[in-house]
């Protein structure tokens, strides 16, 4: 699981900004928001232009050089902070696997050009490479003794180079490194704002509704729409090996995508990825939903949060503007994060008050109780 993340000089983040998911409080209600001592379900609030979408892109930057999964490169234009003269964006990740802490740090001059990398497990640095100093890789992993460590001709990530070229022994640290690669391969960011898109987890594109049908989840999809307050009569046909979903009316049928509301399209996207999380053999382990409720009524937004609370095997980060779902009925104060320019902290850490289950968090937020 992701334990914490920090970024500096990337897009709107001039100085270091940290999202810390390890500061768990002793709340007894809504335990689904926490797993293994880490925040497992996080909602991030922030005014416009505070950097919520850029934070999502920053967290997912790691997949650009470590995985072959789907990437949306155009989102990484204007990579460096425009107010900073330093030509290096820096990223720091802390992951928790079992009882061990794996830390991965790197700097880039643009989305594809790595300048330095380092990886530590339990404060023991195992991999270190800095092109600003020399081209010599420093590595302390069994199975890499004969690996070429002069990397002046190597342009890819040194971690990816090690994974592809070394025959690693199955030591504790190597197994943790493999857990790390597996986790990164199964990170996912998706959104439906001006356009619908995703990056991470898989490669290529698929027809969402066709996959829902082919995996025998169409009836469940209809039932989920109904529970979400989107109760319409829909069905599908198979013509020329292609599925088409229709709205059924008294006198005619109309293609689903032609008249579905933006909210229904957004919910369909959520349902599609929910099926991947629940039923795929290698499901997403970490999901960011950017502006997840942009086209939802607050009731539908609540429905979505309740659905993700049911999922224990995936860590979720949702960005939102909807203060009506900042409530202890859904999650808990250490799961709600407030994002300001240069600072991210949980509601629980934003006040000296002893927050209890009965407190109205939305009312307190609107009254600026959490400004400190």
In a domain, 371, yes or no: no
Q: Are residues 265 and 166 part of one domain?
A: no
Last residue of a domain, one of 244, 266, 281: 281
Q: Are residues 128 and 53 part of one domain?
A: yes
Alpha-helical regions (H) of the chain: 52-60, 62-66, 158-165, 172-185, 208-214, 218-227, 256-259, 262-279, 298-309, 361-366
pLDDT in tens, 229-252: 888 899 999 988 899 999 999 889
Identify any residues that bridge with 234 across adjacent strands, giving them in sequence order.
Answer: 247
Number of domains in the chain: 2
pLDDT at 301: 87
pLDDT band at 159 (very low <50, low <70, confident <90, very high): very high
Q: Which residues, 6 or more positions from 295, have their beta carbon under 8 angstroms from its beta carbon?
A: 192, 261, 262, 263, 265, 266
Q: Are residues 117 and 84 part of one domain?
A: yes
Kind of pairing, strands 187-192 and 196-200? antiparallel
Task: Give the CATH number, domain containing residue 135.
Answer: 3.40.50.300
Q: Are residues 256 and 114 part of one domain?
A: no
Q: Are residues 140 and 260 part of one domain?
A: no
Q: Are residues 261 and 207 part of one domain?
A: yes
pLDDT at 313: 92
pLDDT in tens, 188-205: 998 765 555 677 776 555
- Helix, strand, coil % in the chain, rounded to nearest 5: 30, 30, 40
pLDDT in tens, 75-129: 999 999 999 888 999 999 999 999 999 999 999 999 999 999 999 999 999 999 9
Q: Are residues 212 and 80 part of one domain?
A: no
Evaluated on CA atoms 317, 197, 13, 341, the torsion sign reads negative
pLDDT at 293 over 80: no
Q: Are residues 135 and 29 part of one domain?
A: yes
CB 293 within 8 A of CB 307: no
pLDDT at 206 over 70: no
Task: Give the residue among 314, 349, 347 at the shortest CA–CA distance from 331.
Answer: 347
In a domain, 276, yes or no: yes
Q: Are residues 135 and 56 part of one domain?
A: yes
In a domain, 288, yes or no: yes
In a domain, 372, yes or no: no
Q: Are residues 254 and 179 part of one domain?
A: no
In a domain, 358, yes or no: yes
CB 41 within 8 A of CB 308: yes
The structure's pTM equals 0.92
What distance in Å separates the CA atoms of residue 2 and residue 38, rounded to the nearest whole number? Answer: 8
What distance in Å separates the CA atoms of residue 117 and residue 288, rounded to the nearest whole number? Answer: 24
CB 178 within 8 A of CB 100: no
Last residue of a domain, one of 226, 248, 281: 281
What distance in Å separates the CA atoms of residue 151 and residue 48, rounded to the nearest whole number? Answer: 43
pLDDT at 297 over 90: no
Q: Which tokens in the block code for residue 237?
A: 């046909």
Domain range for 210 is 202-281
Q: Are residues 236 and 112 part of one domain?
A: no
What distance in Å separates the CA atoms of residue 105 and residue 116, rounded to the nearest whole number? Answer: 8
């Amino acid at each position: 699981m992701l334990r914490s993340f920090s970024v500096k000089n990337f897009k709107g983040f001039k100085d270091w900004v940290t999202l810390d998911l390890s500061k768990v409080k002793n709340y007894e209600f809504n335990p689904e928001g926490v797993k293994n001592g880490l925040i497992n379900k996080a909602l991030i609030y922030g005014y416009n232009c505070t950097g919520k979408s850029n934070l999502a892109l920053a967290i997912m930057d790691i997949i650009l050089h470590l995985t072959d999964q789907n990437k949306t490169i155009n989102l990484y234009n204007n990579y460096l902070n425009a107010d900073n003269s330093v030509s290096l964006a820096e990223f720091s990740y802390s992951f928790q696997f079992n009882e061990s802490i794996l830390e991965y740090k790197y700097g880039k001059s643009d989305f594809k050009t790595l300048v330095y990398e380092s990886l530590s497990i339990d404060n023991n640095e195992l991999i270190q490479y800095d092109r600003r100093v020399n081209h010599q890789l420093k590595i302390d992993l069994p199975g890499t003794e004969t690996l070429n460590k002069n990397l002046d001709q190597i342009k890819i990530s040194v971690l990816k180079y090690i994974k592809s070229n070394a025959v690693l022994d199955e030591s504790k640290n190597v197994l943790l490194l493999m857990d790390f690669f597996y986790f990164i391969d199964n990170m996912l960011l998706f959104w439906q704002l001006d356009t619908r898109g995703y990056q991470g987890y898989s490669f290529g594109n698929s027809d969402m509704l066709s996959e829902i049908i082919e995996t025998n989840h169409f009836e469940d999809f209809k039932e989920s729409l109904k529970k979400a307050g989107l109760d319409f009569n829909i069905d599908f046909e198979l013509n020329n090996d292609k599925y088409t979903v229709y709205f059924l009316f008294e006198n005619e049928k109309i293609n689903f995508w032609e008249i579905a509301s933006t909210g229904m399209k957004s919910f369909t996207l959520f349902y599609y990825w929910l099926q991947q999380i629940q039923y795929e053999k290698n499901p997403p382990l970490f999901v960011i939903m950017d502006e997840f409720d942009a086209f939802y009524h607050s009731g539908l937004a609540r429905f979505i949060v309740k659905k993700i609370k049911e999922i224990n095997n995936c860590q979720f980060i949702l960005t939102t503007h909807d203060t009506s779902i900042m409530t202890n009925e859904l999650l808990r104060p250490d799961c709600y994060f407030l994002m300001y320019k240069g600072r991210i902290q949980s509601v629980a850490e934003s006040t000296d008050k002893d927050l209890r289950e009965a407190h109205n968090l939305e009312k307190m937020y609107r009254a600026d109780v959490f400004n400190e």
